[in-house]
Structure 1
Amino acid sequence: MESLFKKLPIRYLYFGSFAVFALCLFTVIFWISYHYSVKAIVKTASGYQEKMLVELNGRLKEKLDFIESISLAVSRNPDVINLLGNQNEAYEQHALTERVSSALLGLTFSSPMIDSIHVYMNMPPAPVPPVAYLPLQELDKEAWYPLLEKNDFLWVGEHLIDSPNGKKSVVSFARKLTSLSGDFAGVVLIHMKATTLQAVLGDHHLLSQRLLVDSTGHKIVQIGNPSIVLTDDEYKKMLGSAPPLTAQEITSVEKLVFSSSTALVVSSKMAGSGWVVAEITPWELLAEDSLFMLKVLGMIGLLSIIAVMLISVYLNRQFTKPIYLLLRSMNQYPDMNKGQLPPDYRNEFGQLFLGYNRLLTRIEELYQSLEEQYKRKKETEVKALQAMMNPHFLYNTLDQLNWMAIKDGNTRMSVVLEMTGAMLRIGLSDGEALITVEQELDFVKNYMQIQQIRLGEKKINYQINVSEELLPLFIPKMTLQPFAENSIKHGFHGREHGNLDIQVSATETKLVITITDDGKGLHNTKQIGKKTAGGYGIGNVRARLNEFFDSDYSIELSALEHEGTRVTIQIPKLETKL
């Protein structure tokens, strides 16, 4: 799959990368802020709730202990025990009933938290509200009685009872009563006003829920938000995670706090009873401040993202503008001049523009150079065509002069003109720089014969010795003639006659040409190479050999023992043209 960094334009990549990075960064910041703010709120709230629940625990325990102590006093009252036995005479039984009712009424009216007292017994007397005597068989109709059968006493959670003023909500405490013989004889049930415990727990308008749960997990009383309901497992977890608190343990959050699926639960267990006071706070309530803060952060983040995007767009344009200016210049070349790129950049973009302008300058120079070369090529072609016409004109002219000389009977001039034409043909040789050894020697022969006619055959003699197999080899043209001319002009000057000998031989890799004359000779031996000067003709030969063979050639001039000069030329053995 092709990388987006290779496919999309730079401005899209820059802006998109910046946007994604900013979005991810702010998302992480929001999540961390929300997470740790909620965590801090939970810790603060749970710590406060724990201290408050410990205080409520003490106040609730006082009231519950008071009700239990009253029930204990009733169960140990001798009149109550005798009344339950039903073995007294009618008058005595009536008197016991009066005393017991009076005592129970006194207990009821002595404490505002007690609503009424019910006594379950055999052959119950008439009720004296708020004290009621109920048949023992009625216990089977009570939902709480099976639990009491297994215990001596029992707290019954909040429920409704009938009263002269209608239904009332109470929390009841039941205790078994025994006869003198120790047999089960009845039950005393003290109804405590539910509002008493609810007042201790707090305000009814709480958004959270506070409740009192007994050691078996049954809810005794609650206030606050009734829509918050815990499962049985959560009740058990609450009971199991709330050991009795001491003053030093009040700050031990980990032992008292756990999270349900919908709420935070903080609980405190009553010492010696296993009862638990708990407060259940919905997560929505705890997170309300955090959500508000998150909304504020969201608005700030949104404004920040917009600001970052605007800055990103500005920076994107500033960074990519030079690149697109350069691309536009490249696409519009050669219509767009190099001066149209902004000259005020001093950074890397300025260096890029400067390099591009230099490149354009170089390209223009190359174009001009190509145009000049094209013009020179055209001029060369014209000159070549003219040069092709000039030899033709010279050949015709020489031929006409030759016929004129024959017509006038000037045989010598005719021969000279004929040899000059032959030399001209060899010298031009269709523009080739290399000719065969045979053609080079024919060129020298024609030159020497012209000189014999000019100076006289007896004055100049020449000999050429060469093997047949060497004649097809190639040699730069007009290599030997300058040396022959040099011998005639300088070596034979002022002398009656002169001899010139040309020897051509070869080694495995070299063609060796020796030119010997018996002229005036040289006073010193000279070695002519790449950097050795000489006469114009010899210098021209040296220059051409240097172009052909670089350093792979030599020209040696040496004086003979008595008189004369020897020139030895060595060049690479060429069987084909270069």
Structure 2
Amino acid sequence: MMMSIRALALKMNNIRIKNKLIFSFILVVFVPVLIVGIFLTVAFRQNVLDQATQQITNNVERIKKQTLDIIRMPIEISDKLLVDSRLTNVVNTQYSSTFDVVKAFWDYRDFRDYIHLYSEIYNIRFYTTNMTILDNWEFLKLTESTKEQSWYKSAMEQDGIHWAYIADETKDNRHYLSLIRKITFPTYRTSGVLVIGVNQDELNAMISQEPFDTMIIDDNGYMIAAKNPKWVGKNIDELDFASQLTDKAEGTYEFKYDGKPSKIVIEDLLPESSHNGLKIVSVFTIDSIVSGANRISLLGFGIIMLSLVIAFVLIYIFSTILAKRMLVLNKDLNKVAMGDLNVISHVTGNDEIGILSKQFNNMVVSIRGLMDEVTESHKQQAQLQLRQKEIKLKMMASQINPHFLFNALESIRMKAHIKGETEISSIVRMLGKMIRRNLEIGTRKIALKEELEIVRCYLEIQKFRYGNDRLTFHIDVDPSGQEIEIPPLIIQPLIENAVVHGLENIAEGGFVSVTAKVSDRMLRVEVSDNGVGISEDKINQINTALYDMEEEEEYRIGLRNVHQRLVMTYGDGNGLTLRSEPGAGTRITFEIPIGGHPFA
């Protein structure tokens, strides 16, 4: 290394001052500025692209919310019609004359009222097996062709709401996004299918405002709304660029759109009580986003290059003047070398060359003057590092306000209590208590009894769901440990893991036990079940995953979260310990010091 530097210095000594200055300018100024300019251009372009991607993600989230607002009314109407006694009478009455049918239709105007009241609703029709009824575009007798429709079969096979882009035979077979739902009449042992068409104009008006190509796709790949009106009604497989999107999960992807690098944002939309949902897709070409940034970058790059050219010209002029003065001084030195001691240098100025000239004159006058060799070696190197942080979409799907959910549950509980449904009232009260506790829990520690209260509520709710034959539980707590403070939500995820995974395939006799004992200033908690158990290989995988910060398997997230919180709070020796055998249940334990730990 030292030898190479020395060799480079020797070569530099053989270069004239003028060329050294130009070379130094190129090496110290031109190249670094050029590198920084390119780096800033690329970073600026990427930043613009990231901001555009985030904006598109926000737009997709907004469309998702607006779409949910539009289809919320059809869902509410279907819920009302599901339990509408008047609809039950109209559909199931065996009419003896046309007059009776017309009178029943005249008295039942709910379908027309809903269409007039709510702009989101385009049409409502009901398919019935009652052959005494007349087709009036609202009530339709079931035909063989209707029975063969896939949407009808899906509705009849599975209760709940289905969404499909289907033809409306009452509207010249035009296609609409429709809510399809089977309505059963237990008293008459009959059923029918309700179809509510969503107003296409509402969806088109919402999508048309988007700056990029955006579409809403149903479960079968049909585009029910799109920025480009020509795409509406087409299947996504008909579009070359979109055929690869059918099986894509929600997220942001890069691909080719019309041969241009593009990005696509996909968001899933699953309405409440629905078996299938929709996809919202937004596409934009990268060039359309960064073109403005490219123009600004080129302008900035041009200004930088112009500045460098001007600086180069100035350096060249200054180096020429400097070289000329040095050449004059060199000629005077040559004269002295030839023996002419009467030489007087006329190089003026107070810079280094002027000082050398003065010293030269003093040396000539005194004859003994010595000329010191002047070396200049000064290098500067500028480094610029830019660190860019990636932006993550936490749009979360619209969530129900927890306070609203709690208040709604409390209202349900009171109504159940008033009607004498004590068991339902009790379960709703426990669910409400869990929600309230979760609202109140922050990062502070809570008493063990508070954590176990949440656990008890959770188990009672699961017991209600599964039944007494399938799930029982036992909670055994040392009285001296009731007030010991622990991190919140440490035991409940273990209970949930035991119920969901351990007792998943247990038809009856499922048992979950929670034990908390105090011994030697340590609180020992054990959660056990008599479920299916875990194999040794799977235990090893889970133990490895407990320390893996990047683990993505969903069923391990709760255990890993609890384990890592315990380790970070109390130290490495206080994490989870799993013991299990296939068919013999699972036991999870942990110990924490009473009063905290240096890590706490």
| TM-score, normalization by structure 1 | 0.44
| TM-score, normalization by structure 2 | 0.43
Q: From the CA coordinates, give the structure whose radius of gyration is larger.
A: 1
